[in-house]
Amino acid sequence: MVMTRALVDWNFEQKCKKAVESLEKNGFISIYCDTARKAFDYIVKEAVNAQTVGFGGSLSVAGLQVAARLGEMGKELLNHGQPGLSMEERREIMRRQLVCDLFLTGTNALTLSGFLVNIDGIGNRVGSMVFGPKQVIVVAGRNKLVDGDISAAIRRVKESASPPNAKRLKYKTPCAETGFCCDCNSPERICRVTTIIDRKPLYTDIRVLVVNEEMGL
């Protein structure tokens, strides 16, 4: 069993490093992290000069438990998912995330060719990824890797991410009941904005941390 785990980790290491290489060719700064702790340490270091830190609602970032450390550092945390907020308060935080110093998010899929593929219901997360914040750090666990084209990446999102996310957020969608995407037209459908970032946007400093651990959905 130990040897099997080591071989699986090695195989994913090669895929992670391939994604990092492709991201670099596409203009991103990308770092391979063999553990989630390395990603945590990188974020803390990059956050030193940031005053405001936005969170895109990523389970990958939440799993790092970096928010508490950033709070201890005196950063203003812009987290629209914190409990007790009214809808207008949530929207205001989302707007402020668009111009924060550091925006932390995950990605729904990362192709080995270095494309970041995401699907949003509102668009605040993908909007902040593309333009606005002074710096963006994307955390991508090895389970987000897709060895295929854009269609395969979108399929990965709709099959593995959207249904459990709809259930987690308590949306009334067919996939939250069945676990399967049916390309619904539900009023609470969360698949509304699809973005493909195939090159680093001209005026946005995006760093992508590719982590050799399972992270998020």
* Residue 90 domain flag: yes
What Cα–Cα distance (Å) separates residue 209 from each residue in 76, 160, 213?
A: 23, 21, 11
Residue 2 has pLDDT above 70, yes or no: no
* Residue 216 domain flag: no
Give the CATH number of the domain where residue 203 resides.
Answer: 3.40.50.10420
If you search the block for the tokens 């203003």, which residue do you land on? 76
pTM of the shown model = 0.96
- Eight-state DSSP code of residue 75: P
Rounded CA separation 144/121 (Å): 19
Q: What percent of the chain has pLDDT over 90?
A: 99
* Residue 144 domain flag: yes
Mean of pLDDT over the chain = 97
What Cα–Cα distance (Å) separates residue 33 from each residue in 15, 79, 129?
A: 12, 25, 21
* Residue 15 domain flag: yes
Q: Residues 123-141: pLDDT tens digits?
A: 999 999 999 999 999 999 9
pLDDT at 3: 73
Integer Rg of the chain from CA: 17
- The single-letter code of the amino acid at 110 is L
* Residue 217 domain flag: no
Rounded CA separation 160/43 (Å): 26
CB of 121 within 8 A of CB of 190? Answer: yes
Rounded CA separation 127/147 (Å): 25
Q: Count how many domains the chain has.
A: 1
Q: Residues 58-110: pLDDT tens digits?
A: 999 999 999 999 999 999 999 999 999 999 999 999 999 999 999 999 999 99
- Residue 78: domain span: 2-211
- Could you tell me the pLDDT band of residue 37, with boundaries at 50, 70 and 90? very high
Which helix (H) or strand (E) segment holds residue 164: the answer is helix 162-168
